[in-house]
Amino acid sequence: MPQTVVDGIEEVLEQISRLGLADFLAIYATRRASYAIRKPTRPVLRLSAADFSWLDKRVRDVMRPVIVGWGPQGFNLTAVAIDMGVDVACAIVRRDRLTPEQYDAWVDGFRRAGVRVPPHPSEVDERSAG
């Protein structure tokens, strides 16, 4: 995985570590609304075993203290929150293989919660062309 991608993921995870239970509930609602767009793109997010293992461990390491802070009221969201963190990180890694609409479907909930995610490559191309 290129270092620039790793740096982008680390920046996103640092921001995710500051989110609260209400943020994750809102992210979950946004994620459910975009299911029809996300579902067919799931195979695109597949990473190599080594990359996925690293990413999954990083997300879990970041999420563990966040989830503990939620107490009992966040118990049912624990696995979903970790999955959402892994999914957004995988989408960042594979964003060059997703359309802008598909990428938004994966990251929009986090954007709405105030997390700055790396732009889709088409957004970067538009900025450099203008």
What's the rounded mean pLDDT across residues 18-46? Answer: 95
Residues 69-123 have pLDDT tens digits of 888 888 788 899 999 999 999 999 999 999 999 999 999 999 999 999 999 999 8
| pTM for this predicted structure | 0.90
Q: Supply the pLDDT for residue 77.
A: 87
**Is it the case that residue 129 has pLDDT exceeding 80?**
no
Convert 32-63 to b/e letters by CB count within 10 Å (16 or more is b). Answer: eebeebbeebeeebebeeebbebbbebbeebb
